[in-house]
């Protein structure tokens, strides 16, 4: 049986001052170090301005750092943008790409997302690539088609040796920040479907090694049940990652 990485990543989104962010990261770091190491990769994704400072305080053997986004351009006159190379220079090893909020509020196109994936990989960053359907698409029974289309035009455009370096995060948009989460059965159904898509595109071996995370109102109270599913390899955690104790409990649920 192929062993996949279990991963719990905390996406802080646009929250926390620099001071508060350092305090939160330091608390997570301390709580993780107090507990026996498990087989879960822990990743923190604070805002850009926190990355370099937090990188200096983390125990890198236990916790890695991610950016929440990167530019679709390598460098140049793009005021306000942050390139993959710049992200890497802070000490980050991961980057979230294609989050539903980026697609929804910033109208990120498939071409931009593919550029971001390529640049992240070129700069030795591991992309956490997001896909998922809106409520209307779920209600209309189009959730599988939506996710298929999102992957076909982005991550599945990569070469096999590129794709096997990425992580997929399934985020049902209707469950993000709503307090409603997909049932463990719904999560497993979609994760299994995504793994079959990967297998069809890149073969069983790569599909078996691809970590697929669940993102959508995952909390300490439901994490264990969600993570117990065969094809759920951890979580991309939003609001619950802003509470150090809660986040660490989720880490130890995987």
Q: Is-contact 11 236, C-beta < 8 A? A: yes
Collapsed DSSP state (helix, strand, coil) of residue 189? helix
Q: Tell me which of 101, 133, 171, 246 is the catalytic residue.
A: 171
Q: What stretch of H or E contains 66? A: strand 63-67
Is position 99 annotated as part of the catalytic site?
A: yes
Is position 143 annotated as part of the catalytic site?
A: no
Instruction: Round to whole Å and give the CA distance between 237 and 216.
Output: 7
Instruction: Round to whole Å and give the CA distance between 242 and 171.
Output: 18
For 211-229, give the DSSP string: -EEE-SS--HHHHHHHHTS
Q: Tell me which of 50, 99, 143, 191 is the catalytic residue.
A: 99
Instruction: Round to whole Å and give the CA distance between 134 and 230.
Output: 24
Instruction: Round to whole Å and give the CA distance between 194 and 198.
Output: 6
User: Which tokens go with 201?
Assistant: 């595109």
User: Which tokens go with 105?
Assistant: 């509020």
Catalytic residues: 99, 171
């Amino acid at each position: 049986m192929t062993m996949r990485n279990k991963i719990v990543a905390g996406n802080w989104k646009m929250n926390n001052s620099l001071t508060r962010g350092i305090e939160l990261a330091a608390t997570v770091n301390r709580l993780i170090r107090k507990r026996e190491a498990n087989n879960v990769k822990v990743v923190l994704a604070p805002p850009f301005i926190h990355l370099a400072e937090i990188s200096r305080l983390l125990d890198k053997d236990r916790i890695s750092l991610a950016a929440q986004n990167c530019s679709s351009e390598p460098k140049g006159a793009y005021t306000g943008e942050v390139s993959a190379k710049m992200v890497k220079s802070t000490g980050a090893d991961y980057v979230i790409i294609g989050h539903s909020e980026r697609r929804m509020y910033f109208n990120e196109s498939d071409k931009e997302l593919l550029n971001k994936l390529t640049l992240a990989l070129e700069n030795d960053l591991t992309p956490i690539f997001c896909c998922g359907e809106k409520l209307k698409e779920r209600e209309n029974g189009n959730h599988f088609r939506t996710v298929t289309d999102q992957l076909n035009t982005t991550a599945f455009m990569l070469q096999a040796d590129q794709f096997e370096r990425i992580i997929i995060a399934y985020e049902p948009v209707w469950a993000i920040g709503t307090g409603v989460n997909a049932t463990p059965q719904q999560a497993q159904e979609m994760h299994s479907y995504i793994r079959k898509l990967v297998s069809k595109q890149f073969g069983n071996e790569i599909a078996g090694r691809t970590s697929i995370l669940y993102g959508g109102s995952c909390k300490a109270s439901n994490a264990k049940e969600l993570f117990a599913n065969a094809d759920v390899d951890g979580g991309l955690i939003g609001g619950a990652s802003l509470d150090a104790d809660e986040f660490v409990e989720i880490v130890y649920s995987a």
